[in-house]
């Protein structure tokens, strides 16, 4: 099991889906949970970075477990998930701050694979019972959701599938971001109003003269 955590920990960090000490993963094994240690570097996981605890209650090692344990535990208790990935993909997080209820992919693959990714909002975004309750509600219908301004939670029967959902989400968000950026770079596109177009041209002309 350590090798699986190490493999997808490297993939999550290498894909830019989380920072050096961000994110967490877990798997369910019967009535036990194996979850990454709080503050663990997903790119350099060792045996000491995996904490085993109970599905229903804590035991002696729980103080070292990820701060998101309460959310992972609620998901395992109330959905069919056997693996969970929680990361902070930067473009998806940025879009979660400007979109209202969901991130809707605009590319063919994203539309087919994800359809839409709901966005939830919570007062306390890290390891709260509020997030746990909302996570269960979302993951009974979807395989992945965004917590506004924080990150995504995804589930699957194995870590690979949970990782895939995160990767697909960030790719879809990158395409949305690049498309909007290209639209803004074109003078006169609908994204810019009349006054904004005039100001854009003025600055462009000044730059050309310089």
* Residue 154's CATH number: 3.40.225.10
Alpha-carbon distance of 90 to 13, in angstroms, equals 12
Residue 159 domain flag: yes
Length of the chain: 210
Whether residue 198 is contained in a domain is answered as no
Whole-number average pLDDT of the chain: 89
When divided into structural domains, the chain yields a total of 1
Q: Phi/psi at 52 (nearest 5 deg)?
A: -100, 135
H/E run at residue 78: helix 69-78
Residue range 60-83: mean pLDDT, rounded: 89
pLDDT digits (tens, 9 = 90+) for 101-131: 999 999 999 999 999 999 999 988 888 999 9
Per DSSP (E only), the strands in 105-191 are 117-120, 144-147, 151-156
At 208 the pLDDT is: 46
Q: Looking at the domain assignment, is residue 27 inside a domain?
A: yes
pLDDT, position 46: 95
Residue 25, domain member (yes or no): yes
For residue 17, being part of any structural domain is answered with: yes
**DSSP code of residue 47:** G
Q: 79 Cβ partners below 8 Å, 6+ apart?
A: 136, 139, 140, 155
Q: What are the residues facing 69 on neighbouring strands? A: none
Q: Is residue 202 part of a domain?
A: no
18-60: pLDDT as tens digits: 999 999 999 999 999 999 999 999 999 999 999 999 998 877 6
Domain limits at 134?
A: 2-184
Question: Would you say residue 209 lies in a domain?
Answer: no
- Give the separation between CA 50 and CA 118, rounded to whole angstroms: 30
Is residue 194 domain-resident? no
Q: Is the pLDDT of residue 196 over 90?
A: no
């Amino acid at each position: 099991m350590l090798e699986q955590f190490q493999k997808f920990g490297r993939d999550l960090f290498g894909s830019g889906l989380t920072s050096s000490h961000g994110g967490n993963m877990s798997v369910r094994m019967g009535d036990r949970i194996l979850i990454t240690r709080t503050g663990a570097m997903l790119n350099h996981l060792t045996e000491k970075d995996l904490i085993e605890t109970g599905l229903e209650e804590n035991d002696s090692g729980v103080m070292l477990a990820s701060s998101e344990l309460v959310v992972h535990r609620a998901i395992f208790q109330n959905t069919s998930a056997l693996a969970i990935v929680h990361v902070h993909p930067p473009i998806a997080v940025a879009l979660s701050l400007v979109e209202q209820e969901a991130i809707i992919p605009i590319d063919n693959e994203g539309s087919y694979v994800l359809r839409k990714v709901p966005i939830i909002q919570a007062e306390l975004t890290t390891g709260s019972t509020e997030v746990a309750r909302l996570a269960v509600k979302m993951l009974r219908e979807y395989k992945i959701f965004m917590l506004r301004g924080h990150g995504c939670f995804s589930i699957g029967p194995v870590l690979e599938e949970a990782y895939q959902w995160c990767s697909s989400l960030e790719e879809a968000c990158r395409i949305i971001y690049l498309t909007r950026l290209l639209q803004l770079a074109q003078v006169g596109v609908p994204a810019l109003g009349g006054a904004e177009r005039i100001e854009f041209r003025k600055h462009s002309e000044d730059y050309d003269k310089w």
